[in-house]
Structure 1
Amino acid sequence: METKRQIKLNYTREFTIACKINNLKPIELLQYFINHVSFYAFIGGKIDVTYLWATTVCIDFKEEYGGEIIQVTIPEIQEISLKYIKKLTSLNLNEPFLSSTAAFQSILIMDEWSSEMLPFTDYEPEIMIFNGELLKLTFDFNLICRMNGSGIEELLQYFIDKVSLARERATNFHHFVKTDPSTAFLLLLVGHDESVRDRVLPQQEMYKKYGLRLLELDDEQNEEDNFENRMKNYDAFYQEWFSALNRISN
């Protein structure tokens, strides 16, 4: 049996809270993130915003931490990559606005690229995390990691570390100011992706209760000018919600 490479990830408290409140297992959120990293978005292609935010995480990680890019010397990979980058660039130029047709076409192009190039690569199709669970690594995800010189373990940990409902709410509690790509991806995934959005929430009365309390907390923050204090208030709120969900599920 082939042994999968194992990586060690640290699920932060805020990441765990965000997953629980949004009815996602941590492994699910990581897999959704990987699945939404898009090379077409990476080169500026117009595509659904969830793909843009997931891909932006990769770009931000590269800008923040750099990476050692290994020069591609295999002629077949160079030729194949050039061919498909030209196809994707042409698609983007011919479809200057967001188009479901162009997005679908980009997926077909990436599938062709993957089929043609994978035999010449050592891309990992799967990776095991610390608890024995498996993550499937897409061609787009592997490709961008290689092009950016980003380690898979380091990039996934970066995504985990950046997820914070408290920071997001403290920043944008009444109107949008700025957002972090990791948390933005999570919130858009929950709101837009049918496979997540249409799940039946457990303890729906509790979600209604805490949803209303969150709005009340937003109003209370009008008088709090200190960002750190606002963040502490939201952090305490989300921790309470998380604990309440855990008490019922245990």
Structure 2
Amino acid sequence: MDAKGQFGLSYTEDFNVACAISYLKQEDVLRYFINRVSFYAFNGGEMEAVALSSTHIILDCREFAQAGVTPVSDRKVRLISIKYISLLSDLAANTHLSTVDKMKESFYIMQEWETEMMPLVDFPKTFYLDEDQFLVLTFDFNLVCRMNGLNPQQVLQYFIDRISLARERALKIIGFAHSDACMSLFGMMKLSRSMKQYKLPVQLEIQQWYHEKLLILDGKLKNEPDLDKRTTGYQAFYAEWYHTLQRNLN
């Protein structure tokens, strides 16, 4: 915990706004990300898009942080890791199993790996957001972080820092269709049944009102050549939407 009383993470304004107007709780967004990181996907196995995006975020974070990978010094841990990586590689190469069957089998392999290796490593099991709330860190998440020379705080902060509806809209309005892994995952969350929350009538009214205003703003900003100016315009718009929600709910 730092001098400001925070527990290692700083929520950006863009992240706060994106979560609020998407009706997602901040801790649920982080939990969703953590739970879908897959070592099998990291090792080249076929997985669903949400697992691929979640895992790719850690690779992007490694590149951003220019992190160096520390070799495993413990011989027993190294031998265990080699054994299970070989099992996962053989599974990925198996032409007789469907993708779904491979995914299911990969979960069992990872459970066995976790059981065998956890007594030998110092992987953190939780990450505290404040004095009361914490995230449970999965074995896959810890393992992919460690193998890329990163710690959970670095990865979670990297993810938070890249969530911006404003920048995403500013890029897409000029036909730039590609989203980075963080925004791709956030988009999948908004479509996920497990993340959907009941909306009050006032929330639905506000959402419809601002969706209509967003289309008008698109028309005004699509001819603006400067990305930063477009982003600033959308940030002001989404901030107004956010504050309108807060006023009506309070």
Question: Which residue does the alignment assign to 2:244?
Answer: 244
Q: Partner letter of residue 157 of structure 1? A: Q
User: What is the CA distance between 1:34 and its match in structure 2?
Assistant: 0.9
User: What is the CA distance between 1:145 and its match in structure 2?
Assistant: 1.4
Cα 1:230–1:221 shift into 2, 3 Å:
same
Q: What stretches of structure 1 of length at least 5 have no aligned partner?
A: 1-5
1:122-178, Cα deviation, whole Å (9 max, x unpaired): 111112124541110000111011111102212211111111110111111364432
Question: Which residue does the alignment assign to 2:217?
Answer: 217
- What's the secondary structure of 1:223's corresponding residue? coil
After superposition, the CA RMSD in angstroms is: 2.1
User: What is the CA distance between 1:98 and its match in structure 2?
Assistant: 8.2
Q: Partner letter of residue 193 of structure 2? A: E
Counterpart contact for 1:53–1:182, Cα < 8 Å:
yes
Q: Partner letter of residue 238 of structure 2? A: Y
User: What is the CA distance between 1:30 and its match in structure 2?
Assistant: 1.0
Question: Which residue does the alignment assign to 1:75?
Answer: 75
1:191-250, Cα deviation, whole Å (9 max, x unpaired): 1x22014x2223112112222222332233333232222212211111111111111122
The answer to whether 1:181 aligns with 2:159 is: no
- How far apart in 1 are the matches of 2:33 and 2:69? 22
Q: What stretches of structure 2 of length at least 5 have no aligned partner?
A: 1-5
Cα 1:128–1:120 shift into 2, 3 Å:
same
Cα 1:183–1:131 shift into 2, 3 Å:
farther
- How far apart in 2 are the matches of 1:223 and 1:71? 50
Counterpart contact for 2:67–2:149, Cα < 8 Å:
yes
Instruction: Tell which deviates more after alignment, 208-217 or 113-122.
Output: 208-217
The answer to whether 1:14 aligns with 2:14 is: yes
Question: Which residue does the alignment assign to 2:3?
Answer: none
Question: Which residue does the alignment assign to 2:138?
Answer: 138
Instruction: Tell which deviates more after alignment, 12-21 or 125-134.
Output: 125-134
Q: TM-score, normalised by structure 1?
A: 0.89
Count of aligned pairs? 243
Q: Give the fraction of aligned pairs with identical amino acids, expressed as a percent.
A: 38
Counterpart contact for 1:46–1:98, Cα < 8 Å:
no
1:72-91, Cα deviation, whole Å (9 max, x unpaired): 22232122211111121122
Question: Which residue does the alignment assign to 1:123?
Answer: 123
Instruction: Tell which deviates more after alignment, 49-58 or 11-20.
Output: 49-58
Question: Which residue does the alignment assign to 1:228?
Answer: 228
Counterpart contact for 2:29–2:189, Cα < 8 Å:
no
User: What is the CA distance between 1:68 and its match in structure 2?
Assistant: 4.3
User: What is the CA distance between 1:25 and its match in structure 2?
Assistant: 1.5
The answer to whether 1:195 aligns with 2:194 is: yes
